[in-house]
Structure 1
């Protein structure tokens, strides 16, 4: 087996830990044991710490000097703020896309909606969330602003657990119709036909987020109890 560069090792460890963090395989507020993690992942402490530091810088872990790294808590205010930021950057990117989006890219995303269908079928919640993220990130990519897209991808990772809860209780058919209406309004270059739809589609009230987080805590600890 060819030797793996240190950067590659850090990237592999980062991706594994990111998935564990996003999925809340660590309990909210739990301190991460670096020795146990290094052994489980088959790496030394150096690449592990580099990966943990990167996740902390992206808001996916917490760090307390002298104590170490911790799993994020499911914080209502933080999640609400992330949804507010998501709404702001997606709506603004759509405004930019009214001038920059290419018709062929809009048609390609409409075809994506046709292929994935309005009904969930036998897809898992994880698959449905990934499809939804693909739509929103592809829509934002039409703005041509890579920095805004990078911010959205970070937000999506940080709210993914909440979105799993959210998507379980949503009407996917209505959600997909919103997606289609946004694209048709964008293709017509009609701001009034697409921007309000996207803003409403993303918007979440504080009480909705609070309810989703309560359900999230229940799922985390129920799963832990069954294991």
Structure 2
């Protein structure tokens, strides 16, 4: 029996999802940008980042190239790689696109969500309430992303899901920057109202809640940026 234990452990290790060094670098750098450890306008040195993460420069370079394509960083002449500055007009344009797409997503979710989809949204909302009680802002931000991803999945439209994922990833940095009030409580109330509308299969109500939710985000960003 004792001789078979290493083999079992090896099988368990093989079953674990493999995370490439490029993906590790991407997730680490993106999280630091979103949470403003790397604030807007910050210069990013590939060598220093590679040393901090514990990977080579090639994965870091690949990760930064992906983040450039996603609009989180940019290459500036004579400055190198910098975290993309926050320009209010650009943020407002992005929010306009979110209004159109997320309201449509809410309508589809109210029409198409399965019982499993609704339970997933409810579980995320429950964990978010716990994060609010603990004042765990990082966890709350992550749960906000999970909620919108789960909502997009409930809409049963993969093309729309891809669009919303990109928009929401860009929004997270502004969510964190604007986090200077108790807006997370009202946002949580809106999430729960949206779940209720979806559970009642009411597309009009779901769209109205989502529109109010995005407008509240717009107002919070405008006040705090």
Q: TM-score, normalised by structure 1?
A: 0.77
d(CA) in 1 for partners of 2:125, 2:65: 37
Residue in 2 that maps onto 1:217? none
1:133 aligns with 2:145: yes
d(CA) in 2 for partners of 1:89, 1:12: 30
Q: Spell out, residue by residue over 1:137-180, the C-alpha distance to the aligned partner (whole angstroms, 9 max, x if none).
A: 21221011233223323323322232124444135444333223
Q: 2:114 aligns with which of 68, 78, 102?
A: 102
d(CA) in 2 for partners of 1:14, 1:43: 11
Residue in 2 that maps onto 1:43? 55
The alignment's C-alpha RMSD in Å is 2.8
Contact 2:106/2:207 (<8 A) preserved? yes
d(CA) in 1 for partners of 2:171, 2:51: 29
Shift of 1:93: 1.2
d(CA) in 1 for partners of 2:137, 2:175: 9
Distance 1:55 1:135, change over 3 A: same
Distance 1:33 1:112, change over 3 A: closer
In structure 2, runs of 5+ residues without a counterpart are 1-18
In structure 1, runs of 5+ residues without a counterpart are 1-6, 214-227
Contact 1:94/1:143 (<8 A) preserved? yes
Contact 1:125/1:168 (<8 A) preserved? no
Residue in 2 that maps onto 1:61? 73
